[in-house]
Amino acid sequence: MRKEYKNEILKNPWVVGIGTAILSVFLLKIFDIIASTTILLSLWNIIKRSFNFLLNFFLQQYESPLWFLLLLFVTGILALLGLLYILSMFEKQNNTSKTPPFSNYISDNFEGILYKWTYYINNNKYTITNLTPYCPKDNCIIYQDACPICKASYYNIKEDSELEILIQHRIENKMYVQT
């Protein structure tokens, strides 16, 4: 056998699990012999008693009317449906709480100039990105302080850092309109 193949076999989780169980039984038997105890026999008796108890429980015969069995079945179905309904309510709460209310706030007008942006999400932290000035007349991106369509000039375009502060202020004070 190749050495790599042996390593693959020894790293297989099934081989490790079964091998560990067999090794632990052997070590426990050796401990029983050396220490003159009966740990392995006691464990085996506990396992046998547990198995016999379960077997006897499930083999017992009960006499019950058919209406009781139907009632038990319907109650089980209703309990399952109730549990599914409760779980769906929790799922809805989790879905609605994942997106903050300001996530649709992606444009605003500052000093007569329309600005649009997106959010970058990293570890549930929202960062404003892609701040872009738009002409408020024709909704075109302003290029070199002027609108390419209507040729209107805009010299009061704000820096990104100042805009981020203004947007953050409106979000924190809930002074924004969602678009």
Choose among 125, 128, 113: nearest CA to 167. Answer: 128
> Which pLDDT tens digit goes with each residue over 109-147?
998 899 999 998 887 788 899 999 999 999 999 999 999
Q: How far is CA 17 from the centre of its chain?
A: 29
pLDDT score for 94: 62
> Which pLDDT tens digit goes with each residue over 159-175?
989 999 999 999 999 88
Average pLDDT, the chain: 86
CA dist., res. 61 & res. 73, Å (int): 18
For residue 100, what are the CA distances in angstroms to 90, 126, 168, 170? 17, 9, 14, 14
Alpha helices in the chain (DSSP H): 3-11, 13-35, 39-59, 66-98, 160-172
Per cent of the chain over pLDDT 70 is 93
List CB contacts of 140: < 8 A, sequence separation 6 or more: 134, 147, 148, 149, 150
pLDDT score for 11: 82
> Which pLDDT tens digit goes with each residue over 71-115?
999 999 999 999 999 988 887 666 555 678 888 899 999 988 999
CA dist., res. 30 & res. 24, Å (int): 10
Residue 7 confidence class, pLDDT cut points 50, 70, 90: confident
pTM here?
A: 0.47
E strand or H helix at 110:
strand 107-110
